[in-house]
């Protein structure tokens, strides 16, 4: 599992470690890992051209020390210094690191000296190191740094961010203004939430974690991303004495005369989620049976469906009733799509059983009473706020799917799988059915949501192979995604 920590937690862990080490040892340790990662990106180090964009802080120091190591191996290294002017009129920079670069044969000059033609300063570079700002940076890049970042991106050089791309927020993943868009981010000691959450995640490129000996407190994880082994450990597995009822029954209230396909897709996801049976209670029973004859259909609605271990309600529901009756039940309930309209926070908070809400950004914005763009820019905080307001687990769908528990002590889970091809009609219906089935099989809401998002993303990759994919293709690929996880 990838675990991410807030800036204040990382800084406290760094301070504790620095107190045990000789002065400057921790920075040199980070720089050694950074230089090794950079060397691996170059066809060869000797004779390559490296440009270091160095701010005045510790990230600039890391980059300068790494530049010194590359220079000692025969690279031609030039540092462009972006710090504010010091007493001597030159930009401020980490003194010891700059001295190390010069001693290794590297050159340096003020970034202002190339402001007229930043592209020329980066022409021919094989690799550019972004050490402009660190985890304490706030807001977008200043104009001088932004011009260099654009030129670095256009140069064709490998662009490597030091700890995180300059201009992104380490704690929230927001990007307020221009930021470095890296090919690779080499981060030290621990992941930061912004590296896992869009929009910042899209700026980070491939992630590489350098172990520098940090030990942040386990209880202060801010965000986490499951991996195959974590998902495999959570998946339900039937025992020898299991029957369809012992494995759990999921009830689905979805679809309408206008949108029968939503019911079919939701049931498709539910049938592949580990529960032993699916009860469909709604007006699209004929369409459901035509595709899935194994479904138990109850046209009279949820009141006639019999006992279930979870309910899924909302996809394609339109004005079909049933939300109040389902919320009044004593089993876990997943609410999606049309079920989220006019949802009463007090009624959800008063439920004796858990509730899982699965909105996309537009639906979350409506529930929170704020603009959609605010939710998309701050996905982590929006999911947290929604979970707290409704006393429910929230799976916020989107470019980064985020799962937040109503307990603020639980880290937010960030889904690392998926593909932009999932942004197509009906895939959310499949996800709802899958997550509801996992609830019926006994998973806690946070685990059911996280595992469902993970498998759903893997299935989309399997089905698409880089090409457009339809929702039913994703449903059919779920069994293969399940095998991928358990057999890895």
Is 415 one of the annotated binding-site residues? no
Strand partners, 206: 184
Is 381 one of the annotated binding-site residues? no
CA 391, CA 344: separation in Å to the nearest integer?
A: 11
Is 251 one of the annotated binding-site residues? no
Is 138 one of the annotated binding-site residues? yes
Is 139 one of the annotated binding-site residues? yes
The DSSP H or E segment spanning 222 is strand 221-225
Is 55 one of the annotated binding-site residues? no
The DSSP H or E segment spanning 280 is strand 277-280
Is 105 one of the annotated binding-site residues? no
Q: Are 415 and 400 in contact (CB under 8 A)?
A: yes
Q: Are 270 and 334 in contact (CB under 8 A)?
A: no
Is 166 one of the annotated binding-site residues? yes
Tally of CB atoms within 10 A around 318? 13
Give residue for tokens 């172990």: 211
Is 488 one of the annotated binding-site residues? no
Is 486 one of the annotated binding-site residues? no
Is 262 one of the annotated binding-site residues? yes
Is 59 one of the annotated binding-site residues? yes
Is 48 one of the annotated binding-site residues? no
**Helices (H), ranges, 189-300:** 201-204, 228-234, 260-271, 285-291
Is 198 one of the annotated binding-site residues? no
Q: How far is CA 447 from CA 104, 321, 438, 457, in A?
A: 51, 29, 9, 15
Residue 147 structure tokens: 């011009």
Cis bond upstream, residue 187 (ω within 30): no
Sign for the pseudo-dihedral over CA of 140, 142, 147, 153: negative
Is 398 one of the annotated binding-site residues? yes
Sign for the pseudo-dihedral over CA of 20, 23, 26, 28: negative
CA 362, CA 344: separation in Å to the nearest integer?
A: 17
Please tell me the number of Cα atoms within 13 Å of 305 on its side-chain side: 30
Is 194 one of the annotated binding-site residues? no
Is 60 one of the annotated binding-site residues? yes
Tally of CB atoms within 10 A around 438? 32
Is 76 one of the annotated binding-site residues? no
Is 62 one of the annotated binding-site residues? yes
Is 397 one of the annotated binding-site residues? yes
Is 360 one of the annotated binding-site residues? yes
Residue 224 structure tokens: 């986490």
Is 61 one of the annotated binding-site residues? yes
> Residue 70: which region, alpha, beta or left (left: phi > 0; alpha: psi -120 to 50)?
alpha
CA 281, CA 59: separation in Å to the nearest integer?
A: 58
Q: What is the DSSP string of 84-151?
A: PB-TTSSBP--HHHHHHHHHTT-EEEEGGGGTT-HHHHHTT-SEEEEES--TT--SS--HHHHHHHHH
> Which residues are annotated binding-site positions for AMP?
397-401, 428
Q: Which residues are annotated as a binding site for K(+)?
A: 59, 130, 166
Annotated binding residues, written as ranges, equal 58-62, 130, 134-140, 163, 166, 262, 316, 360, 397-401, 428-429
Residue stretches of the annotated binding site for (6S)-NADPHX: 58-62, 134-140, 163, 262, 316, 360, 429
């Amino acid at each position: 599992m990838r675990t991410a920590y807030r800036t204040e937690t990382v800084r406290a862990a760094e301070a504790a470690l620095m107190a045990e080490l000789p002065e400057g040892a921790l920075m040199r340790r980070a720089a050694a890992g950074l230089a090794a990662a950079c060397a691996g990106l170059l066809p060869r180090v000797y004779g390559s051209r490296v440009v270091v964009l160095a701010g005045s802080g510790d990230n600039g120091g890391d980059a300068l020390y790494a530049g010194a190591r590359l220079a000692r191996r025969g690279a031609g290294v030039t540092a462009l210094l972006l710090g504010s002017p010091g007493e001597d009129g030159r930009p401020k920079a980490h003194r010891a690191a700059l001295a190390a670069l010069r001693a290794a044969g590297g050159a340096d000059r003020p970034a202002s000296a190339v402001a007229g033609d930043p592209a020329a300063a980066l022409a021919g570079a094989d690799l550019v190191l972004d050490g402009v700002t660190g985890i304490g940076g706030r807001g977008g890049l200043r104009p001088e740094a932004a011009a260099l970042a654009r030129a670095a991106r256009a140069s064709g050089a490998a662009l490597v961010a030091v700890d995180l791309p300059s201009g992104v927020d380490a704690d929230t993943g927001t990007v307020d203004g221009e930021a470095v868009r890296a090919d690779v981010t080499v981060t030290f000691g621990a992941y930061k939430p912004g590296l896992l959450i869009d929009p910042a995640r899209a700026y980070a490129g491939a992630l590489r974690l350098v172990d520098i000996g940090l030990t942040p407190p386990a209880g202060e994880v801010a965000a986490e991303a499951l991996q195959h082994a974590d998902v495999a450990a959570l998946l339900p597995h039937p025992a020898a004495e299991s029957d369809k009822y012992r494995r759990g029954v999921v009830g689905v209230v979805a679809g309408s005369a206008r949108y029968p396909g939503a019911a079919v897709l939701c049931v498709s996801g539910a049938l592949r989620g580990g529960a032993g049976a699916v009860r469909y209670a709604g007006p699209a029973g004929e369409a459901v049976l035509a595709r899935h004859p194994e479904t138990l259909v109850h046209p009279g609605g949820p009141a006639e469906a019999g006992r279930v271990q979870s309910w899924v309600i909302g996809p394609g529901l339109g004005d079909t009733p049933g939300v109040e009756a389902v919320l009044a039940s004593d089993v876990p309930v997943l609410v999606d799509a049309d079920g989220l309209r006019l949802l009463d926070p007090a009624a959800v908070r008063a439920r004796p059983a858990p509730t899982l809400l699965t909105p996309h950004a537009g639906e979350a914005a409506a529930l929170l009473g704020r603009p959609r763009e605010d939710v998309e820019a701050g996905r982590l905080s929006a999911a947290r706020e929604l979970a707290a307001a409704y006393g429910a687990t929230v799976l916020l769908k989107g470019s980064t799917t985020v799962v937040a528990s109503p307990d603020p002590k639980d880290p937010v889970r960030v889904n690392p799988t998926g593909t932009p091809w999932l942004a197509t009609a009906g895939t959310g219906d499949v996800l709802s059915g899958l997550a509801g089935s996992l609830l019926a099989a006994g998973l806690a809401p946070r685990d059911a949501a996280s595992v469902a998002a993970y498998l759903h993303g893997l299935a989309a990759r399997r089905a698409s192979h880089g090409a457009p994919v339809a929702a039913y293709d994703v449903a059919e690929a779920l069994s293969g995604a399940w095998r991928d996880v358990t057999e890895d």
